[in-house]
Amino acid sequence: MQLNLRIRDLRKAKGLSIADLAGKVGVSTPHLSQVERGLKNLNNHLLVRIAAALEVEPDALIASQNREDIGDLLDAVSDLSAEDVERVRQFADALRLSRPGE
């Protein structure tokens, strides 16, 4: 599940309106609405404040996305030959090495 949808689902599960959560976080209702719709990105500071307002750890919001992404990748390579899996691994290594500052 995408981060913005996870935030929305947790907010609804807690019985909070967008305005309620926005007030707890200290942002405008339109701003939080745009975050939930994926129109605005979160910075780390806002992510921490949203997590605190939802009474979860920030990594709980992020980890659910990472687990889904990993599951999707596993599904995508499950039918590949050993040779193709090795190519995917080499491509992933090349991507990691191409990141600036790493």
Residue ranges of the domains in the chain? 3-64, 70-98
Angle at 65 between CA 62 and CA 68, to 5 degrees: 150
Q: What is the pLDDT of residue 69?
A: 72
Q: What is the pLDDT of residue 18?
A: 97
Q: What is the pLDDT of residue 96?
A: 83
Question: Does residue 101 register a pLDDT over 70?
Answer: no
Within 10 A of 60 (CB to CB), how many other CB atoms are there?
Answer: 13
Within 10 A of 1 (CB to CB), how many other CB atoms are there?
Answer: 13
* 89-93 contacts, C-beta under 8 A, 24 or more apart: none
Between the CA of residue 35 and those of 24, 54, 82, what are the distances in Å?
A: 15, 15, 41
Q: 3-64, what's its fold?
A: 434 Repressor (Amino-terminal Domain) (1.10.260)
Q: Which two tokens stand for residue 11?
A: 């907010």
Give the pLDDT band of residue 11 (cuts 50, 70, 90): very high
Q: What is the pLDDT of residue 65?
A: 59
Q: Tokens 């339109």 label which residue?
A: 30
Q: Who wins on pLDDT, 76 or 18?
A: 18
Question: Does residue 87 register a pLDDT over 90?
Answer: yes
- 43-82 pLDDT tens trace: 899 999 999 999 998 888 887 656 667 777 888 888 889 9
